[in-house]
Chains A and B, each alone.
Chain A
Amino acid sequence: MIELAEAKPKVGQKYVDAMRAQFGGKILEESWQAAEQVTLMVELNSLPDVVEFVYYRLGGWLSTVVGSDERPINGHFAIYYVLSVEGDETETEKAYVVIRALIPPHQPEFPAVASRVPAAVWYEREVRDMFGIQPVGMVDKRRLVLPDDWPPELHPLRKDAMDYRFRPTPTREEENYEFIQVEGEGVVEVPLGPLHMTSDEPGHFRLYMDGEHIVDADYRLFYVHRGMEKLAESRMTYDQITFLTDRICGICGYAHSVAYSTSIERALGIEVPARAQYIRTILLEVERLHSHLLNLGLACHFVGFDTGFMQFFRVREKTMKMAELLTGARKTYGMNLIGGIRKDILKEERTQVLQWIAELRGEVTRLVDILLNTPNIVQRTAGIGRLEPNVARDYSPVGPNLRGSGFHRDIRVIHPYCAYDRVPWTTISKTGCDVLSRTLIRAEEFFVSLDMVAQCLETIPEGPILTEGFAYKPYSFALGYVEAPRGEDIHWSMLGDNQKIYRWKCRASSYNNWPALRYMLRGNTFSDAPLIVASIDPCYSCTERVTVVDIRKKSVKTVAYKELERYCVERKDSPLK
């Protein structure tokens, strides 16, 4: 089956040629994992130059950065910069280019790319935490992933560091994360979190205010870091990880599961049967349906339109029933195996889902109509939380967040997977750059997804749903990618020699969206903060308490999240006064 993959023409050869012309001998090795995936090994010191060239000159977007401890294989640490190279607007040839560099173990350092390509900031901080490899020239010296009281010399993902069950004794009861210092007259510091009201992950925000206006923002996330990547390497088999990936995110878990499975399938050259591809597509879109309705409901809530919130959640139950009928579970579907899926769709289920789709189309059309004709929705969201196109270009955000800023970028089109190149559909993008655009994109994508589920159900091909009887090849690796409701989820997997994965790096869509949030918050008013945070749909507004630092009054004040939420909804009696 490997031969099949190699027989296809190599997509993206011209990018490799352009890089060779620019850097010549600094490119040491070239290997193709699939028709549109190439890994190039470069000299360590040329890393920032090469990544910058691919990012800004060849139209690359940073998808993920993978650190890996390959000392048992080749005696070095390795770092992989994964870029989706897309050229300019008119370009049709799009490929994943992976830049790899080896780092000597006696001097675990690499030149930081983040100063040239800001999108790499979080990734390089994470690599430092998890492997103890220093990005030289990285300005931000703070931790990203590991807890504040984690021992400084212990790097969990190093192969020789520790057992995956090892829990260092806690040393401190208090968090001591250093937030950025914003200087200036009248800046008010507002910490939010880590516990919060709306839902989702804990996260700690700090807003720097001048009166009612946000000057800057900083956040500490990763309160829920559990160590999944270590778990996958140590305790799980390939097929078990598909169920672990279901539990990465409670909303788009299936997208992760598909991304992981396809990464292994691609690394081994396994052809997944067409019927399984269609069923995966259907389930991915069903997941998008409920996720987008959830976000639309929250958008209503944050502009003070709670009737809409309740209505969207009422309608959303139909999509949950759809998932339950098709998979047996409302949330964690548990449907994927390496090579295919576990459960077929029969006629009875198909008929029922098609009927629900027709009902949903009518109900959601009415609701969206009501939402857009509610006077304060446009007033509250237009021009708010702007993600400027140049900031977006620098930070590689993904999903509706990016498409709201005029970029026509959807992984389902750029790098088609599953059955997305076999059914007709359109991508949605807007140029408003604001909360309104992002909300409208979700509303329109909902209907596109409805059509797509119906299309797939009607045209689903016959045949098996699972490929079996393949062998796992040690140390082969590849990427898997899925456009989840919030944007591109990307998984990089390298197989091991003991029926366990050697290195698995998963990157969820919100990871790319968070760093740009700071720029979206700047200049907006305090009462819009929850609205803006919710608009990137980050596994959302992680905002319980807000410490307000007022630049002019030199005062620090803590505001309960409820108070902030109330203020966002009612917009009167500011808690800052």
Chain B
Amino acid sequence: MVTDYKRRDTLMGETQYAIHMDDQTAALKGALLHDIRRSIFVYRVDCGGCNGCEIEIFAAITPIFDAERFGIKVVSSPRHADILLYTGSMTRSMRVPALRAYHAAPDPKVCVAYGACGSSGGIFHDLYCVWGGADQVIPIDAYIPGCPPTPPATIFGFAMALGILSQKLKATHHVEGEDERVQPRHPELPLDLRVDVERESRRMAGYWHGQQIADSFLNLLKAPASDIERNIQNFLAQKDDSRLTEIFGRLSEIYLMRKA
């Protein structure tokens, strides 16, 4: 643990060697310097926090972490703000002032929920004077979790929010045509089967992986009935992943049950 600190110490001020920027940092810096091309003003709205978050935001903008080197600046009026930072669980008394701050900020704006309480209400989520997190009242674009988030997490969260801001700056609006319909995936398979497979797959592997696994399984089902089992075996042999085999086993059970 201590060695960790020593390392960070050198990173924090007494750096004696050239810093090599990795690709991600370079991309982030590029986005700041070329795509957004201006400073980002942040306004904080405390809706019922304990000050822990506020202090960590302070730490993030003062010399050691210095978010201002990226052009991220905390301002004192929502009228100047690009990013609204909501900290603390949304209390009954603060819901109206919080909304007022939201309406006062010019568009396009990004709203960020900061800390455990801002994101979800935290430990206070179901209390009588609390409306849960900031997203109960304000449309939130990004969440910075933590109790409180550390200054590095804060700066990372700002960078995420900036990505969203550039999307909003270049926003295009799609107008739906007369007979335009969204095509569901795998329309040739029965709906019940698709839903059950996807649900089970997501339950076992999580949201993102679950979708991928369900897709590849459903693709395999489209072959002629006689080939399906062999295709699945081949697919699993090729992947050689015991967890995937386990999940596919469950999905096959669902498939066979539905077929019967």
Contacts and interface: CB of A to CB of B under 8 A. Distances in A.
Interface of A: 146-150, 156, 162, 164-168, 170, 173-175, 194-195, 197, 199-202, 222-228, 230-231, 235, 243-244, 247-251, 253, 294, 310-311, 313-314, 316-317, 320-321, 325, 330-332, 348-349, 352, 539, 544, 560-562, 565
Nearest to A223: B93
B130 A226 contact: yes
B241 to A, nearest CB: 35
Contacts of A313: 58-59, 62-64
Which has the most chain B C-beta neighbours within 10 Å: A166, A195, A228, A235? Answer: A195
6 contacts: A200-B54, A202-B97, A225-B92, A227-B124, A228-B124, A317-B59
A175 B52 CA distance: 26
Contacts of B130: 226-227
B123 interface: yes
Contact of B93 (A197, A225, A235): A225
A194 B63 contact: no
A500 to B, nearest CB: 16
B89 interface: yes
Interface residues on B, range: 35 or more
A165 B127 contact: yes
B123 A244 contact: yes
A235 B126 CA distance: 10
B124 to A, nearest CB: 5
Contacts of A314: 62-64
Contacts of A294: 55, 58
A330 B76 contact: no
B101 A224 contact: no
Given A225-B48, A332-B52, A560-B76, 17 more contacts: A149-B92, A165-B126, A170-B95, A194-B93, A199-B44, A202-B47, A224-B91, A226-B89, A231-B127, A244-B123, A250-B49, A250-B148, A313-B62, A313-B63, A316-B62, A332-B148, A562-B77
B58 A224 contact: no
A170 B46 contact: no
Q: Which secondary structure dominates chain A's binding surface?
A: loop
Nearest to B48: A224
Contacts of B67: none
Nearest to B117: A247
B51 interface: yes
Nearest to A224: B48
B150 interface: yes
A247 B51 CA distance: 9
B204 interface: no
Contact of B124 (A168, A231, A310, A320): A231
Contacts of A227: 124, 127-130
Interface string B78-100: 00000000001101111111000
A228 B89 CA distance: 12
Nearest to B3: A348
